[in-house]
Amino acid sequence: MSIPVIGFFNNKGGVGKTSLVYHLSWMFSDSGMKVLAADLDPQSNLTAAFIDEETLATTLWHSERASTVYQCLEPLINGVGDIADPDYEIITDNLALVPGDMRLSRFEDELAQDWPKCLDGRERSFRVVSALWRITQNAARRFGAKSIVVDVGPNLGAINRAALIGCDFVVIPLGPDLFSLQGLENLGPALREWRQQWQDRLAKQPHNAVELPQGLIKTIGYMVIRHSIRLDRPVQAFDRWIAKIPATYENSVLGKTGAGVVGIEDDPNCIAKLKDYRSLMPLAQEARKPMFHLTPADGALGAHTQAVGNVREDFKNLAVEIARRAGLPEFRQA
């Protein structure tokens, strides 16, 4: 039985997606759930959040073992075998990472070429297209993880298609701006198309095919992040974009037309609205820890102390809600 995968995706970058995945991974871990974070974005920003640059430069990216997602792919790419067993990085007893690798972008063309060949029932093509999913599943099983969270890049390319057909659930982070709405309009039809196309390919899989993802790609909601707050209300400049999100999500992502217009506060598809924690983020990056782990020794003094408590509560509630929507095993609230 496969381990549930939650992907975080928006066609528009700069919405705080990687920071969201990083903090949710830590909160799931703090809450007692064993979780594997997988960095499937060639930019590898999630990896850089977990692992310092010196380790990346001198050890991880130049290791002879399969330390990164690309190194796991190399035997398959070079035609000398299938994927290698991943040597994930242990962050805590409950949290591990499959590190990203900028060389993953080299895999884009091969994924694009093998996608149509799956319709011919070619075994190697199924191995190539399912490789990212199988790497994360193998790592999660070895680590004993109960869930996998995946960070992907902000595009509709072949790497993201392969990563997302391996996701059981998808969360869409949004900024309160025109470009996030345009990204939402693009990704909704793409996700539905990829889901159907993968089902068509699964019908052609050879009898001796490797274990394959089911390609559920079930969108469980969206989040609005990084909106400024003034008297507990978003600033007026963002109001009109936030107001458009519920109908755009219904139409573009769920494929529902003529849906009743509701406000974001009443929209069941809205998982959460997170404030801009800009005052804490620099401290957290310097300390190389999530914002809700900051202490006075890290510079979280005065008003920052209350802010740390607030962000902890926000991410605790967020983790509980995402776990509920994804049907993840119950876990202790941190």
* Distance separating alpha carbons of residues 101 and 39, to the nearest angstrom: 8
Compute CA distances 270 → 114, 197, 225, 243, 261, whole Å: 36, 27, 11, 12, 14
Give pLDDT tens digits for 143-168: 999 999 999 999 999 999 999 999 99
Which position has the higher pLDDT, 83 or 67? Answer: 83
The pLDDT, as a whole number, for residue 308 is 93
Task: State the maximum Cα–Cα separation within the chain, in Å, rounded to a whole number.
Answer: 64
Which position has the higher pLDDT, 132 or 276? Answer: 132
The pLDDT, as a whole number, for residue 104 is 96
* Distance separating alpha carbons of residues 45 and 326, to the nearest angstrom: 25
Indicate the domain borders of the chain: 5-276, 278-327
* Distance separating alpha carbons of residues 164 and 309, to the nearest angstrom: 33
The pLDDT, as a whole number, for residue 55 is 85
* Distance separating alpha carbons of residues 168 and 199, to the nearest angstrom: 14
Strands 95-98 and 89-92: antiparallel
Query: Hey, is 163 helix, strand or coil?
Result: helix
pTM of structure: 0.93
Burial of 322 per CB tally in 10 Å (0-12, 13-18, 19+):
buried
CATH number for the segment(s) 5-276: 3.40.50.300
The pLDDT, as a whole number, for residue 158 is 98
Burial of 72 per CB tally in 10 Å (0-12, 13-18, 19+):
buried
* Distance separating alpha carbons of residues 134 and 212, to the nearest angstrom: 8
Average pLDDT, the chain: 90
Which of 16, 96, 7 lies closest to 50 in space, CA to CA? 96
Residues in the chain: 334
* Distance separating alpha carbons of residues 127 and 82, to the nearest angstrom: 8
Give pLDDT tens digits for 50-62: 998 888 877 777 7
Question: Which residues sit opposite 229 in a β-bridge?
Answer: 234
Comparing 169-178, 275-284, 306-315, the range with the smallest average pLDDT is: 275-284
Contact predicate 99/65, CB 8 Å: no
